[in-house]
Structure 1
Amino acid sequence: MKREEKRENLDLILIESFKELMTEYPFEKITVTLISEKAGILRPVFYSYFRDKYELVDYMFYNDITKELKVLLSHGMVIEAIKLLFTHVANERSMYRKLFDTEGQNNFQTIVMDQLSALFDVYVNAFDSHSLPDNPLITPSSICRYYAMGLTISIKNFLASPANATIDQCVNAYYYIVTHSIFDFLSKETTDEFPKV
């Protein structure tokens, strides 16, 4: 491999090194030094690509999943995009389960939610926002955040589900939830108390 090609692929080599380390250690125990050693590079070289391991994880999720979702969504393939998302997560179930267990300021759940929200924002803003109610709390961005949270929680639920849950079941469950309102599940007496929008 030529030196230039190796340098271009070093970000991917660092990601693969991180993924290998995730099979051996909890996320909290993985350091930039460990990742660098696994990749066969000096620690300072790591910082030419990523600020820290959190930025590496953010880029990994974008490179492995979000980038692919963009392509499918740009062709109107929404169900296929959701299926790809769950399929990819299933293929690396153990790693994603560990990543979702991380807590703190840079937790993985926030990374996923931010990326999905930004992705949805592109497509929601493509529609006429004049059809939204005149309410400062109902904006394209707040709608994107709401649905990004729902999809992120669905991914976590999938990871916590029995291993025999199929991708199609996950997609169908998510589709069912996003196509039904909470009011579909409440009794008529309860919903009569809510103000009409």
Structure 2
Amino acid sequence: MSQKKNVKELLAESFKELLLECAFEKITIKMITDRAGVIRPTFYNHFADKYEVLEWICYTDIFEAARILINTDMLVEAVKLLFTKLEVHKDFYTRAVKIEGQNAFEEIFYQHLVELFEESFKIKGKEIKGHNLLTNHNVSQYYAKGLTFLIQQWLLAGLPVEAKEVTKSYYDLMSHSLEEIIEGNSSFN
């Protein structure tokens, strides 16, 4: 790619800046295109709507690099990267996490995490054997829901702990049963 940013990046950058200035609901396609210096129809050559802009930003900023780590069998590093990227761009993501709707932040993160976890199973060549409730897909959904919830709570609380610490807490949580945590047999007590 040349030194000059491509139009898709300009539109995404424009959206990021606008989200830091005003509520998501108030952002219009015209506002995005005006700030990017392109005409409105150009937006639709790259994105269907502003939710798709949000998804593209999340993917290129976080999940694209995480997928590379997953493909080199580095799941722990991928999760660390996820928390670190959220922390580095906390102003944007603390606003983005408040976006609601069918294609909002929660759904975007959940879907991408399911894909990452399923990819981890594939890389390892593992297939969960057991009853039909515990499949690779269902286990990936389970962990994606939990991690999405933790990320949301962390962002909504204003990132009260550093990415390194929340990553450690996530792995502590995942490595202990609920019974161990309740009984005080974990690092949480």
Structure 1 residue 140 corresponds to structure 2 residue 144 = no
Q: What's 2:170 paired with?
A: 174
How far apart are the structure 2 equivalents of 1:39 and 1:161? 31
% identical equivalent positions: 35
TM-score using structure 1 length: 0.84
How far apart are the structure 1 equivalents of 2:95 and 2:39? 26
Gaps of 5+ in 1: 188-197
- Displacement of 1:77: 2.3
Structure 1 residue 128 corresponds to structure 2 residue 126 = yes
Q: What's 2:98 paired with?
A: 101
- Displacement of 1:183: 2.7
- Displacement of 1:108: 1.1
Gaps of 5+ in 2: 184-189
- Displacement of 1:175: 0.6
How far apart are the structure 1 equivalents of 2:157 and 2:134? 33
Query: Which of 2, 8, 11 lines up with 2:8 in the alignment?
Result: 11
Could you say which structure has the larger radius of gyration?
1
What amino acid maps onto 2:12 in structure 1? I
Task: Give the SS at the match of 1:125.
Answer: helix
How far apart are the structure 1 equivalents of 2:132 and 2:157? 37
Give CA deviations for 1:13-67 in whole Å, capped at 9, x if unaligned: 1111111101111111111111111100000010000011111111111111100
TM-score using structure 2 length: 0.87
How far apart are the structure 1 equivalents of 2:24 and 2:129? 42
- Displacement of 1:160: 3.3
Give CA deviations for 1:115-171 in whole Å, capped at 9, x if unaligned: 111121112134332x421x2221111111111111111212221346551221111
CA RMSD of aligned residues (A): 2.1
